[in-house]
Amino acid sequence: MAAHYIVEQVKDWYRTGSISMYGNLLLNDRTIISIELYERSYELNPSISNRVIGYVDNHRTNFVSTLEFPMLQWNFISYAYLHKIGYMIRELSPFGRAPLPNLKYIIHCITSKDTGITGYEFQDKLVIELIDLDVAANNLNLTKIVSSVLGPKLLSENKIIEPDELDEIVGRTRSQKPFADHTWYDAWLIMFRYFDKNERELSKEALKISQDYERIFRPYRVVYNTKTWQPVPGLISVFIFQLLTSSPP
Percentage of the residues of the chain whose pLDDT score is greater than 90: 63
Q: Which of 7, 55, 12 is nearest to 33 (CA)?
A: 55
193 or 248: which carries more pLDDT confidence? 193
The helix/strand/coil state of 102 is coil
Least confident of 22-31, 104-113, 114-123: 114-123
Q: Which of 103, 106, 66, 90 is nearest to 166 (CA)?
A: 90
Grade residue 239 by pLDDT with cuts at 50, 70 and 90.
low
Which amino acid would we find at residue 149?
A: V
Whether 248 is covered by a domain: the verdict is no
Whether 197 is covered by a domain: the verdict is no
Whether 160 is covered by a domain: the verdict is yes
Sign of torsion over alpha carbons 89, 93, 96, 100 = negative
What distance in Å separates the CA atoms of residue 52 and residue 63, rounded to the nearest whole number? 30
Whether 39 is covered by a domain: the verdict is yes
Grade residue 234 by pLDDT with cuts at 50, 70 and 90.
confident
56 or 122: which carries more pLDDT confidence? 56
- Contacts of residue 221, Cβ cutoff 8 Å, sequence gap at least 6: 127, 128, 129, 130, 234
Grade residue 249 by pLDDT with cuts at 50, 70 and 90.
very low
218 or 233: which carries more pLDDT confidence? 218
Whether 229 is covered by a domain: the verdict is yes
Write down the mean pLDDT value for the chain.
88
Whether 190 is covered by a domain: the verdict is no
Grade residue 95 by pLDDT with cuts at 50, 70 and 90.
very high
Task: Give the model confidence (pLDDT) of 136-156 as tens digits.
Answer: 999 999 999 999 998 866 655
Q: How much is the pLDDT for 247?
A: 44
Whether 207 is covered by a domain: the verdict is no
Q: Is the pLDDT of residue 246 over 80?
A: no
Provide long-range contacts, Cβ within 8 A and 24+ apart, for 190-194: 191/65, 191/68, 191/69, 191/72, 192/63, 192/65, 194/65
Q: How much is the pLDDT for 122?
A: 67
Q: Is the pLDDT of residue 230 over 50?
A: yes
Which H or E run contains 240? Answer: helix 235-245
Mean pLDDT for the stretch of residues 15-30: 92
Domain of residue 158: give its range.
Answer: 3-175+215-238
Mean pLDDT for the stretch of residues 42-56: 94
Longest CA–CA span in the chain (Å) reads 63
- pTM score, two decimals? 0.90
How many domains does the chain divide into? 1
Whether 185 is covered by a domain: the verdict is no
191 CB burial (10 A radius; 0-12, 13-18, 19+)? buried
- Contacts of residue 66, Cβ cutoff 8 Å, sequence gap at least 6: 73, 110
What distance in Å separates the CA atoms of residue 105 and residue 1, rounded to the nearest whole number? 10
